[in-house]
Amino acid sequence: MNPAPSLHQERFIKIITDPHLSPKQKNLWLTVEAEAALPSLPVSKAVSRAMKEGVLCDMFEGNAPFKPRYVLPDYAKFLKNGSAYLELLPATHFDDALNMLNILYHHVPSVTQIPVYLGQLDDLLLPFVGHLTEAEIEEKLTRFWILLDRTLPDAFMHANIGPTDNVICRTLLKVDSKLKQIAPNLTFMYAADVTPDALLRQATKNICECSKPHIANYPMHAEAYGEKGFGIVSCYNSLPLAGGANTLVRMNLKAVAQKAKNADDFLQEILPQYAQLMFELIDVRSRFLHESSHFFSGFLTQEGLIEEARFAPMFGVYGMAEAVNILMEKEGKNKKYGHDNEANAFSLRISETLNEIVETTPVKYGFNGKALLHAQGGISSDVEVTPGLRIPYGTEPDPVAYVQATAPHHRYYTSGISDILTLDETIKSNPEAMFNLCKGALHTGFREFTANVASNDLMRITGYMVKLSDIERFKEEGSRKNTTWLGAEASVNTQVLERVPRVLCAEMSPFYETKTDEDC
């Protein structure tokens, strides 16, 4: 008589017999289950308790991380030098470059097992344009974009373009708007002294059509990383180029606030206490990756495509809105985050405190010896807690008030912060309003501008893209896209579909001195 299957075997059987998973997806899920079956790394009782209580979370990266969460190779060096490991000579023309990038993408790991960074594509490809016409470039990039979506169907895969005006940047914006794919995710870099308004208008018009791209405040990001540069990866995460994130650990600020007696107790005692526990968890996970996994002895390091010293842990926080509201209530005040000046001012004190903690706490495997503060965008299983520093879904004020409430925080969150503004479909008949809102938000201090348009099939969840039509079919049919299930789960657990679409019209006036009827 055969013994009853173990709990792990039952889960394996459920995966391999799922009628809606493709063979590749079954392989992916079996790998995730195997990683989860490994023994957890040893931590103190206090850290273990904080994780069980939901105060700290290791983001399901695996109990013993053998690869970094996010990897940002130096693709330019790869195209210039070729690769001994992959038996590739340096690229000599445009097709070479596209082919070589596609090959390397399949060897770049991440927490999703699919590359989260595709490179600064205009910088990478411009040297190989040669005598190609714009029509020829568009044809080649269209094939490339389709290939990426069909072979690496993961919405966390991310490409960067800008801030200069060039044929690759303009063409990729055109291709992305035409194809309306969930992948790759896309960030357009904006720099006021470099980027012409016409190019920014093209990018913001794309948002009206397909809710992409993110628009990043390039000088703000570049200042944090120095001469070697950075990239925007996954949802909206900013990290050192030729490096990445060795781990992302997050803290539930709502849960921390519930443990505090009052606002001062939260800032002076409870928050620093849990921050130190979080650094312990970061250290344990980073040490295993750097000292035991042998990841940094692989070809990416040997060929100079990554540098171990350019990896850093991300110190993530979420639930700012609930934390502020709880602490205001404990102070006997009926003030709400995003709506009242006193609540907003107190939230900024929290960010300032977090920044001071991160900046003054040494980390062995950090970027310049430090972790990077991050406003974590939530995960699909979160319930009754708002992602990052966002204003809770369904209670959002008008877009300008939203920007004014959250912009002061952006300077502290070096490795990424994102507010998703949801706009009514009438914005499509007035794309200039999207342009003005974006430019105003970046001028006000936004690190990253992101918007959804309510009538689009493509929408952002925490920062990655899904199609509403895919979510509707998912339960009955599954999806060829690996991340659709996350959007389906998030739509139930996080109330993400309850975002309030706002009409952008008179709400624009705080940003601009004059406004005409045409603007509305």
The model's pLDDT over 428-452, given as tens digits with 9 standing for 90+, comes to 999 999 999 999 999 999 999 999 9
Determine the 3-state secondary structure of 116 from DSSP: coil
**Residue with the larger pLDDT of the pair 108 and 455:** 108
Average pLDDT rounded to a whole number, residues 192-200? 98
**Dihedral angle of Cα 48, 54, 57, 60, to the nearest 10 degrees:** 100
Predicted TM-score (pTM) of the model is 0.92
Q: pLDDT tens digits for 224-249?
A: 999 999 999 999 999 999 999 999 99
* Cβ within 8 Å of residue 212, ≥6 positions away: 176, 185, 186, 206, 458, 465
Give the pLDDT confidence score for residue 382 in this predicted structure.
Answer: 86
Q: Give the separation between CA 167 and CA 129, rounded to whole angstroms.
A: 9
Strand partners, 459: 466
| AA letter at 504 | L
Average pLDDT rounded to a whole number, residues 177-204? 97
| 458: nearest Cα among 190, 152, 176 | 176
Q: Give the separation between CA 318 and CA 337, rounded to whole angstroms.
A: 14
* Cβ within 8 Å of residue 437, ≥6 positions away: 399, 400, 403, 421, 449, 451, 504, 508, 511
Confidence of residue 489 (pLDDT cuts 50, 70, 90): low
Give the pLDDT confidence score for residue 461 in this predicted structure.
Answer: 75
Helix residue spans in 260-398 (DSSP H) = 263-265, 271-291, 299-302, 320-330, 341-360
Determine the 3-state secondary structure of 137 from DSSP: helix
The mean of the pLDDT values for the chain is 91
**Residue with the larger pLDDT of the pair 472 and 339:** 339
Query: What phi, psi does 370 have (nearest 5°)?
Result: -135, 160
Check: CB of residue 393 under 8 Å from CB of residue 386. Answer: yes
Query: For the residues of 451-465, what is the DSSP string, one character each?
Result: EEETT-SEEESSSSE
| AA letter at 231 | G
Confidence of residue 514 (pLDDT cuts 50, 70, 90): very low
Give the pLDDT confidence score for residue 393 in this predicted structure.
Answer: 86
* Cβ within 8 Å of residue 217, ≥6 positions away: 190, 410, 442, 446, 447, 448, 449
**In 172-329, which ranges are E strands?**
185-190, 214-217, 230-233, 237-240, 243-252, 311-318
Strand partners, 363: none
Average pLDDT rounded to a whole number, residues 300-317? 98
Q: Structure tokens of 42?
A: 């040893």
Give the pLDDT confidence score for residue 146 in this predicted structure.
Answer: 98
**Residue with the larger pLDDT of the pair 381 and 253:** 253
Residue 510 has pLDDT above 60, yes or no: no
Query: What phi, psi does 242 have (nearest 5°)?
Result: 65, 20
Average pLDDT rounded to a whole number, residues 210-233? 96
319 φψ region: left (φ > 0), alpha (ψ -120 to 50), beta (else):
left
Residue 520 has pLDDT above 60, yes or no: no
Residue 46 has pLDDT above 60, yes or no: yes
Q: pLDDT tens digits for 378-415?
A: 887 788 999 999 999 889 999 999 999 999 999 999 99
Residue 515 has pLDDT above 50, yes or no: no
- For the chain, the residue count is 520
Q: Structure tokens of 333?
A: 């005040």
CB atoms within 10 A of CB 185: 28
Classify residue 120 by its DSSP letter.
Answer: B
Check: CB of residue 309 under 8 Å from CB of residue 368. Answer: no
Q: Give the separation between CA 379 and CA 54, rounded to whole angstroms.
A: 13
Give the pLDDT confidence score for residue 123 in this predicted structure.
Answer: 98
Confidence of residue 469 (pLDDT cuts 50, 70, 90): confident
Q: pLDDT tens digits for 259-274?
A: 999 999 999 999 999 9
Give the pLDDT confidence score for residue 362 in this predicted structure.
Answer: 98
Give the pLDDT confidence score for residue 478 in this predicted structure.
Answer: 79
DSSP H or E stretch at residue 175: helix 167-179
Q: Give the separation between CA 341 and CA 347, rounded to whole angstroms.
A: 10
Residue 504 has pLDDT above 80, yes or no: no
Give the pLDDT confidence score for residue 501 in this predicted structure.
Answer: 65
Check: CB of residue 409 under 8 Å from CB of residue 351. Answer: yes
Q: Give the separation between CA 87 and CA 98, rounded to whole angstroms.
A: 16
Average pLDDT rounded to a whole number, residues 359-375? 98
Q: What is the CA radius of gyration of the chain?
A: 23
Q: Structure tokens of 460?
A: 């952002």
How many Cα atoms within 13 Å fall on the side-chain side of residue 8?
Answer: 9
Average pLDDT rounded to a whole number, residues 30-46? 92
Query: What phi, psi does 214 have (nearest 5°)?
Result: -60, 150
CB atoms within 10 A of CB 47: 21
Q: pLDDT tens digits for 94-153?
A: 999 999 999 999 999 999 999 999 999 999 999 999 999 999 999 999 999 999 999 999
Q: Give the separation between CA 206 and CA 178, rounded to whole angstroms.
A: 9
